[in-house]
Structure 1
Amino acid sequence: MPKGVVAIVGTTGVGKSELGVQLAKALNGEVINGDSMQVYKGLDIITNKMPMKEREGIPHHLMDFLESSQEYRVTEFTEDAIKIINDIHIHNRIPIIVGGTHYYIQSLLWKNSLIKDYDDKEYDNDSENDEILNSETDILYKRLQEVDPIMANKWHQNDRRKIRRSLQIYLQTGKCHSDWIKEQNQPDEKALSLRFPRTCIFWLYADPKVLDQRLDKRVDKMIEEGLFEELIYLRNKVKNESVHTSSGESINYTRGIWQVIGCKEFEPYLKALEETPHCDNNVIDTIKESSIEAMKAATRRYSRKQIRWIRNKLLLKCQESNLDGADANCVTLEKWNQDVRDVAIRITKEFLDNGTGPDPKSLSSEANELLNPGTDMNTFDNLKTWTKYECDICRIFNDNSPVVINGLANWNQHLQSKWHRSNVKFKKEMDMNWDGQFPPWFKKKKSLAS
């Protein structure tokens, strides 16, 4: 077989790891982990690592090697994975990338998915930039408005993380974030962007209603297998090593291992156990059940988010590559119990041998519907037409400070929200009965409305 790469994407809990092992067995392949949480040592339950006995002796790379106090960036993953893929090719084997962190996989498969050499680490020897990036959010936003007004218009003025990232890209590269996006969307860039000449992507899909039930049961199984013990171990490890956020006050659930679903959701329960060891068991049980439901809901939301990424980002990249003659196919396999393994093996062999395969949309009615990419809101044309909206009605009930809504879709959603409709009704009542004096209950109503 010529040197090729296979990637398996899809939502959490849909069977990607199992398909990866079966393909590796049939194709003399090795698995490369594409899940940002499974890189951490231990914590096998909460990160949903495939048990060793189920891997059937297939080598798994980039898994279980990072300390919980460390962070692993997408730039590091891409660099490490490329080295491993080259080594696997040297030994005439097939690399199979498996995971649900789709921006990791996309950044690996396409050259221009990331801004070249971008890294969000602090600057080591640039105190001026370091001082700028640690400024208050309003100062960062004003600075971004000066150097890159297009991206400033894109982000909400209070979204510190995105504002800071766009500003840091400018400071590190000397080029605006919006200019990078513009270059990445040029036709010649798209045509040359596929990193590996022969790439086959499988999208393993399950009906969300069926998947929701499976995900709920998986959370229950994780608890039975020792989820709480892992969480308690992780919390104690943090306390013993004094690994906190820069403020030293609380855990940052947007960084490192703390992003994994379960850490944030079970925080109230574990905190209650620590602070009130003699608390009424009924109270503890109530908090526990609430945390379990929160984890299940977060897992379901994450699965929807993964589908949106595939449709709005990954499928767009596949479509661009196909239109420009690159050998990239994206296949949806909707049900595991309908010969998923055999179909996947047949398609992969045909594709790697001949560079051709079946029309992905012909595989099922679901595939025909799903394999229509959405709109990437980070294309340069979309950035230029991005609009912010201010709601004058809700401003009144928000201490008269601006209520800023980003984008038309969010604006329409805001207009239908309970908060906005309540404020419209209340303002109408006030306009009809205004006598120059606020009623005594206005402050209470204002608090409720805001």
Structure 2
Amino acid sequence: MQKGVIAIIGTTGVGKSDLGIQLAKTLQGEIINGDSMQVYKGLDIITNKIPLNEQEGIPHHLMDFLDPHQEYQVTDFTKDALRIIKEIHNRQRIPIIVGGTNYYIQSLLWKDSLIEGDSFNTNDKKSDVDEEILDAKPEVVYKRLQEVDPVMASKWHCNDTRRVRRSLQIYMETGKPHSEWIKEQNDPKEKASSLRFSRTCIFWLYSDLEVLDHRLNSRIDRMIKSGLFEEINYLRNSVKTGKIQTPLGNKEDFTRGIWQAIGYKEFEQYLTAVEGSNDAPYLNTLKTQGIESMKVATHRYARTQIRWIRNKLLYKCQQESLNNRNEQHSGNIRIYLLDATSLETWNQEVRDKAIAVAKEFLENGIGPNPTSINSRAKDLLKSKKDMNDLEILNNWTKYHCNICTIFNDNIPVIINGNYEWNQHLKSRKHKSKLKLKKQFDENYNGQFPPWFNKKKII
């Protein structure tokens, strides 16, 4: 077989790890973890690692090796994964990347999906003071980004701490604004294919969302029975006692590292109450609310994963196919959708089809037409491209909702981007404010009466 790779993507809880094991057993493969939370030691329940006794002796790389207080960037993953892929190829085996952190996988498959760690240049603009700013309060980080890269600062909301911090970090590590990197990477001369591997086969496991939601709820219930709260308490106590250090001292930063994992931050209010209250009914209510929040957050995350696949990764694959037709390609890539809605038909619809497709594609470089695999593929394998980085620079707009600001004690309500703005306009909260404003306009000629208490309305 050519030195290709297989990637398995999809939502949380859809069965990616199971398919990875099945493919590895058949194709003499080794698995590379592509989940940003599963790199951490222990914490097996919160991060949903596949148990050791279910790995069936298949080597798993980049899993369970990082201490909870450490951070692991996408550049770290890409560098480590490329090294391991080379080692697997040298053993005449097939690398199989499995995970739900889609930007990890995309950054690994294409050279231009991130700013290369190897291209970082240190100059006199990088300083200890800048490094300390990354750990500062969000408003401080945002102010610094405004100073060094006003273009990117104008695109991100000040509370979008992850993006703001990433843009500032890129400037600190390269000496060049993030916005300049984006413009360079989108230069037509640099847009030729940058696929890293000669043959790349992607399997997208998909399930109907209604079915998936029930499956995810059941999985969370099993996690609780298996010791989720024991892991949560261990993390909490480790921070309080100083065993695990965090940038914020004895408080977690839920935008970084392991603290982003769904299943911890949702219980913050409950954990705090446990430390200062013996009111069992009250604590039970908070615990129940935390469980419900965890389920809602997991459902939301699954939909975010699908949007990324359709808006970014699928679009990237289509652009690669266009490059192939223009004879500018450096490799061949195909993405196949597998219907994982019914577990009863898993072997026929997922396992057997994936094995057959992978063998044909890796051996011949030509697999079946992706839209012919099943009835869902034709509709779902259509890119719903959102915006690439260059379009963000050119078209991204911040919106100020004057109506909602009035009923928010005049604290500005800022909406970031066209999509979020359209969602805001459709929201129940915004419509209720419009209704109130209309009543004031009709009854008080647009003026607020003396008794009007905005905080009370909120």
Structure 2 length as normaliser, TM-score?
Answer: 0.88
Residue in structure 1 matched with residue 220 of structure 2 by the alignment: 219
Q: Does 1:232 align with 2:233?
A: yes
Q: Does 1:199 align with 2:200?
A: yes
User: Alpha-carbon deviation of 1:412?
Assistant: 2.6
Residue in structure 1 matched with residue 314 of structure 2 by the alignment: 315
Residues 109 and 289 (structure 1 numbering): CA distance in 2 closer, same or farther, change over 3 Å? same
Q: Does 1:17 align with 2:14?
A: no
Other structure's SS at 1:8 match: strand
- Aligned partner letter, 1:310: I
User: Alpha-carbon deviation of 1:129?
Assistant: 3.4
User: Alpha-carbon deviation of 1:161?
Assistant: 4.0
* Residues 419 and 449 in structure 1, CA contact (< 8 A), matched pair in contact too: no
* Residues 203 and 332 in structure 1, CA contact (< 8 A), matched pair in contact too: yes
* Residues 68 and 244 in structure 2, CA contact (< 8 A), matched pair in contact too: no
Other structure's SS at 1:175 match: coil
Q: Separation in 2 of the partners of 1:132 and 1:345? A: 49
User: Alpha-carbon deviation of 1:63?
Assistant: 1.0
Residue in structure 1 matched with residue 260 of structure 2 by the alignment: 259
Q: Separation in 1 of the partners of 2:133 and 2:54? A: 49
Residues 124 and 223 (structure 1 numbering): CA distance in 2 closer, same or farther, change over 3 Å? farther
Other structure's SS at 2:18 match: helix
- Aligned partner letter, 1:286: T
| TM-superposition CA deviations, 1:23-44 (whole Å, max 9, x none) | 1111111111111111111111
Residue in structure 2 matched with residue 73 of structure 1 by the alignment: 73
Structure 2: give runs of 5+ residues left out of the alignment: 325-330, 341-345
* Residues 244 and 251 in structure 1, CA contact (< 8 A), matched pair in contact too: no
* Residues 190 and 320 in structure 1, CA contact (< 8 A), matched pair in contact too: no
User: Alpha-carbon deviation of 1:380?
Assistant: 1.2
Q: Separation in 2 of the partners of 1:432 and 1:34? A: 57
Matches within 5 A, 1:96-175: 96-117=96-117, 126-127=127-128, 129-130=130-131, 141=142, 144-145=145-146, 148-175=149-176
Q: Does 1:412 align with 2:413?
A: no
| TM-superposition CA deviations, 1:100-150 (whole Å, max 9, x none) | 11111111111111112288x9x9971453476677766765664565443
Q: Does 1:370 align with 2:380?
A: yes
User: Alpha-carbon deviation of 1:291?
Assistant: 1.6
Other structure's SS at 1:41 match: coil
Residues 303 and 134 (structure 1 numbering): CA distance in 2 closer, same or farther, change over 3 Å? closer
Residue in structure 2 matched with residue 54 of structure 1 by the alignment: 54
Structure 1: give runs of 5+ residues left out of the alignment: none
Deviates more, 1:227-236 or 1:82-91: 227-236
| Number of aligned positions between the proteins | 444
User: Alpha-carbon deviation of 1:333?
Assistant: 0.6
Deviates more, 1:177-186 or 1:61-70: 177-186
Tell me how large the CA RMSD over aligned residues is.
Answer: 2.7
Q: Does 1:64 align with 2:50?
A: no
Q: Separation in 1 of the partners of 2:422 and 2:2? A: 50
Residues 248 and 109 (structure 1 numbering): CA distance in 2 closer, same or farther, change over 3 Å? same
* Residues 31 and 98 in structure 2, CA contact (< 8 A), matched pair in contact too: yes
Q: Separation in 2 of the partners of 1:400 and 1:425? A: 18
Q: Separation in 2 of the partners of 1:349 and 1:111? A: 25
Residues 133 and 208 (structure 1 numbering): CA distance in 2 closer, same or farther, change over 3 Å? closer
Residue in structure 1 matched with residue 5 of structure 2 by the alignment: 5
Residue in structure 2 matched with residue 285 of structure 1 by the alignment: 284
Residue in structure 1 matched with residue 299 of structure 2 by the alignment: 300
Q: Separation in 2 of the partners of 1:362 and 1:62? A: 34
Other structure's SS at 1:414 match: helix
Q: Separation in 1 of the partners of 2:146 and 2:274? A: 46
Matches within 5 A, 1:334-345: 334-335=339-340, 336-345=346-355
* Residues 181 and 378 in structure 1, CA contact (< 8 A), matched pair in contact too: no
User: Alpha-carbon deviation of 1:200?
Assistant: 0.7
| TM-superposition CA deviations, 1:316-338 (whole Å, max 9, x none) | 22112121123100001103243
Other structure's SS at 1:191 match: coil
- Aligned partner letter, 1:328: I
- Aligned partner letter, 2:353: V
